[in-house]
Amino acid sequence: MTPDGALTATGIAKSFGALRVLDSVTISVARGEIVGMLGPNGAGKSTLVNILGGYETPDAGESALDGDPLGGLGPDRRARLGLARTFQSARLFPRLTVGENTALGALGVGASRREADEVAARVLDALGLADRADVEAAGLPHGLARLAGLARAMAAQPKYLVMDEPAAGLNEHEVPALLAALHRIRDDLGCGMLLIEHNVSLVGQVCDRVVVLSSGRVIFDGPPGDATRHPDVQAAYLGDAALGVAARRPDNIEGVRR
């Protein structure tokens, strides 16, 4: 897969009142690349992803998709340009079937009903969910609901997919299915992916590159294997541990100590 474009955020700054949450952050995700975003709690990860998705407006800086500026565009316009977003909860319509929820992803970017049904069938097949197509979303176990949320995002056939903690709440048996699905999506669509993830070992398994944010700044951008050895990353996570935050997220601190 030849990357022929990139999703970029350049010099992004954002404050909430007196709190400076992002301070001149620059990141990029190439087509076909899976980038993980790590960082202690409160580092600014969700805010950056919300800005990329058009859910928040930056105070300064620019985002662009394959060179097209995204400034001023809301989530729907960005989706039509090829930017899909998943959230920590799957946000499925509980009374619609998995197939109908998936088709909504395609309808949302302008597909006809027939096209949307065709795309949904292909996507569900690719993610191993074809046998659930007629099941009401309300009846899905958590892991399958997450996969169905990914299916809906994939049905929009995005150029870039931005995900907020896709593995949150999954058990050890569900995580491999998610990893396989992410690789499948990348291989099928050739899309770039940016995923916020606290689980360092999962980032190492799925990501080509990792960006670490701390206190609203990029403190590392490089191969996953090097991130946890970087002194700035170790210092950021130890500061987090000192506040007692990492204790709730054992993968954080295990990862940096390895």
Ligand X SMILES: Nc1ncnc2c1ncn2[C@@H]1O[C@H](COP(=O)(O)OP(=O)(O)OP(=O)(O)O)[C@@H](O)[C@H]1O
Footprint of ligand X (CB under 6 A): 16, 19, 21, 39, 41-47
> Nearer to ligand X by C-beta: 43 or 194?
43
> Nearer to ligand X by C-beta: 21 or 207?
21
> Nearer to ligand X by C-beta: 46 or 101?
46
CB count in 10 Å sphere of residue 228: 23
- Using the structure block, give the residue that is written with the tokens 């050890």: 172
Shortest distance in whole angstroms from residue 92 CB to ligand X? 22
d(CA 235, CA 150): 34
> Nearer to ligand X by C-beta: 41 or 171?
41
- List C-alpha distances in Å: 194 to 7, 23, 36, 54, 103: 9, 19, 6, 15, 23
* Contact status, residue 127 vs residue 100, Cβ threshold 8 Å: no
Shortest distance in whole angstroms from residue 103 CB to ligand X? 31
Q: Give every CB contact of residue 139 below 8 A, 6+ residues apart in sequence.
A: none
Shortest distance in whole angstroms from residue 42 CB to ligand X? 4
Q: Which helix (H) or strand (E) holds 218?
A: strand 217-222
> Nearer to ligand X by C-beta: 216 or 224?
216
Shortest distance in whole angstroms from residue 21 CB to ligand X? 4
Q: Give every CB contact of residue 51 below 8 A, 6+ residues apart in sequence.
A: 9, 12, 14, 22, 57, 58, 63
Shortest distance in whole angstroms from residue 194 CB to ligand X? 13
